[in-house]
Structure 1
């Protein structure tokens, strides 16, 4: 009785907290004058303790990022670069299996604009974001920034002054006060450390990529040839060593300049934004398939021969300039082998943004240049190098298999973002099993490709490599039946994004039945309606209560409830047999038909998407905007749990099961 009493009190408190419209972020805005016609639009957010707002750069597949939509832009003003943010934190989300970038306590977003129409008095924008703690809230605000009268050029010498803005927000009546932009003192060290670790990871992987490029037919034979050239053409050994070191440094410079060029052309953060875009994920997929096909022997990716000839003539000039052109000639001649690796590294480092492409090229070129310098300093080591032969093509083909496997990760990203379910977990794993299995068979010599030499036997090293690849292939096979595959958890789609969320052979009555109109198979094989009216009509038909599950595709705690609470036998049995489940997604971005769009009577916001509709329904009927939210209703949509009408995230399985049972008892009265 005592435990029941405490549980009841906790339940009432939790329900009271959840059953209200939450606004855990207080926003303020200001306009800062930068020049005569340029201004910074500054949005400051103060976030309640424990809540997180997600960066505009957080990768797809996780929580929802900040999205800024500018209004009446054409002919009035231009955006100068991407909106800048205060430092964010980075953490791996083991539910969505992606890294997420988020803000705690404070967030500042600054967009620089250039006004092109002197008559512009203000700039309006819509600021959309997701904030999560034990529940998630998808919200958007309309901000209006006042633009002061544009001065003539003579006033440019005067000190720049800040101009406070007027905030127009139809969804809240909270008072707006001007707050200062975050100062360097507010920046936390943890994001910097995370960024440094990420850059070191890129450098290390790029360094390994450089060593892989060395072991290809285009580069490896060049080592003894180049070193012999320097040692024979130089008047003294010291001069030969010096020239070889300059040669190595020149290689590094060429690739670092390439990284700098990519960063300069696209911008430090633009590449990150592009890499999380659906179309660019598809483009990256196509590029990597092309690179893989080249490595497997279908064709060679080569730069024009005229380039190599022109550079080679410049290399004959001698001196430091000649050595620099020799290094450039190596980059051009070996492009058919190094190009796909360099391209892959640039694609991967682009997803990190910032100076990652430069760091990647530094790591790659350092590994590529190091042997040329070392063997020039110690020519005797050349005798220990293995002879060129068919093994070089084996390395190249192996890289092709790896490129092909990586390509499907980008295709998977695009499918996840669009929620098309064309490329689910089983399909991804089947392709990886086929790719790595074929690679293992190739290493055993059972398959030959266009540029392979005749093979009478395989080396012990090649045998061990084949065993490793085939073991990895066997490891992935149980994943087709629902095994978690923790070694590669960051690569395939999550378990929930699959044909069999319960695993093959798992409990799924729904899969064996003809689904009712408007229903689909949800978590744990449950029959789920995603349309309120159809779900309620079916509940009336089968004479069962309905559980309204206000959820979100990007709601972490919604997934935790499904994975940890709904999966329990006593809860799952109720969900399968005693209620009708209606899941309404508050972050569904699909537009409503024009005739169904409206202006909310509760908030004054324009309801344009399916997610907007269900969010407004929550606020209007249940006075809350958080997900997950669970409500048991009868066939007329009335609440069944009288004392505690709604509940939200609560990992207590007994609590959730008793709440469901109480509602069902009330339905049967």
Structure 2
């Protein structure tokens, strides 16, 4: 009876693993988009406040000549109970990982060469911070000065603004990414000659885009090199940030300790035994040890120790091999 029972359980859970496995994978294939907690509105305008484009009755689309600069005003409004952080301004105790990031998308027509001007944030006290930090709880404004390249093609183009910021409420913090797209018409009129200082900035910007800042180089936030360094994504440039002012993914403070980590790992191991792809191995293992117990000279403790040691050795060797490979491909 026992010889028939274990194969039946094994076949049942194997079939369940095959049937449920694809469904489990598909359920995470298309995660739902999280609602945005900061509402943004973009307004375009000329640098000159007395420009004809500011006059009443001007056309509703914004037009700029090649070689001219114009202003992009981004107005953000946090939802009630939520707040976010400035782009550059921060206190000594405030982590720079909290600061917002705003940049233009890759474009052949437009480029931002100057630091972003931001409205004055408020000093607030947070429980997760040891002092006062700057944040936005009320509507705020960011202003970018954008240059239209002299070689830009005339016609209608989309100006893409990429925003990455941290939004928080009393329960915790989230990272939001938004992409704002605004149409801009480039005039077919003759291009405006660039000033020598602007030509130098543009040249430095284009040269910085073709190279990566050396490791260990301090790149100021909002500078030309900082903007160009964000043009391409390289996962090797990112590092883990451990700051008291940042909350962990689970919402805690991240000071549980070694024993709590060990207990969590043990509990996770027991829970993993109940998954459809691991549970079929339990009857096979029990059946093997039951067969061994029927022998006259058997050593159950020795067999169990060899079984556990083999699992530990295989998993440890696999982990060390993976770490070795990652070290080789990392700079």
Query: Highest relative contact order (Cα 8 Å, sep 6+), 1 or 2?
Result: 2
Higher strand share: 2
| TM-score computed with the length of structure 1 as normaliser | 0.23
| TM-score (normalizing by structure 2) | 0.43
Of Structure 1 and Structure 2, the greater helix share is in 1
